[in-house]
Amino acid sequence: MIFFFRYLRQKRDLAPADLEFEKISIDGIDDAFLRSIKLTDFYSYLTWLSQTRHCSPATRARKIAALRAFFAYLKNKAFLLETNPAIELESPKLMKNLPRHLTLDESRQLLAVAAAGESELTPRDYCILTLFLNCGLRLSELCSINLASIREDTLVVMGKGGKERTIYLNSACLDALEQYRAVRPHTGLKNPEALFISRLGQRLSTKTVQYLIKKYIAAAGLDPKRYSVHKLRHTAATLMYKYGKVDIRALQVILGHVSVATTEIYTHVDDTGLHHAVEQNPLNQVRASRPPSSRKTEKSGV
């Protein structure tokens, strides 16, 4: 807000030209000054933010949102303005960043590296990766899994907001769970109800799981700075949607999203997928059968 008023005072020559921007006073902002502000002032300010201050679209959008709220208050609550000059002000369009994810081959490589371990903890770590990549679990959801959470081929997890949801386990998950539970410690545990146990007999912490995932990502030849636990959730969602032909609503339930709009971020497809979708249109096989004479007629015009 202060930025905007400093900008206007500078633009209107109400501050010394050689005065540093951060030192421009806004003490002279009164009711008359506020009433003089027009929609064009906001757009001029947006241009200045972009070209002079090099602010990103997201930063500009936040500043515009604050101005909108402020001028709405001046009109509707403080009754200082008869009209709101910011009511038609539009924010800069923001590009949605597509979630980073592993490819199918990279996912297989990650699982292969984990499976090749020779530690007594290998079955546990492999099971963790398998659940992340097949079920799209959040970090907190995986760490909170109890033995009682698994019921035959289903897993009950506590999602965001304390909402419980049921996830169906595929054969890969069931096999990994079986192998891990066969070697899971049963005595001397501080948290015997927990599924994933540390060397100290405690429930695995989120920090420990994050460390493990980074370790295996690096061992698989991938950049641990680019991929995190949450990227495995992105990966699971992307692979299910791309290869499993999962309906967007079904994917929403699997991931535990309240709004389907959140799920749509995971349904990004590459140009190859778009090209394939167009090629698969059944009408793509329909061709007009025309004799050569009809083509000549077309060229001559009507």
CATH at residue 200: 1.10.443.10
**pLDDT greater at residue 281 or residue 221:** 221
Which of 9, 203, 231, 233 is catalytic? The answer is 233
Q: Does the annotation count 214 as an active-site position?
A: no
Same domain, 26 and 140: no
Instruction: Tell me the per-residue pLDDT of 111-170, one tens digit each, with 9 for 90 and over.
Output: 999 999 999 999 999 999 999 999 999 999 999 999 999 999 999 998 888 888 999 999
Task: Note down the domain range covering 19.
Answer: 2-76
Active site residue 234: no
**Is 216 found in the same domain as 273?**
yes
Contact 200, 164 (CB under 8 A): no
**Residue 257 placed within a domain:** yes
- 268 among known catalytic residues: no
Quote the pLDDT of residue 18. 83
pLDDT in tens, 236-275: 888 888 887 777 788 888 888 887 777 777 655 444 454 5
pLDDT tens track for 39-92: 999 999 889 888 998 888 888 888 989 999 999 989 999 998 999 999 988 887
**Total number of domains in the chain:** 2
Looking at the fold, whether 119 and 202 belong to one and the same domain comes out as yes
Active site residue 151: no
Active-site residue, from 138, 203, 231, 234: 138
Is 257 marked active-site?
A: yes
Tokens of 285: 């096989």
Active site residue 266: yes
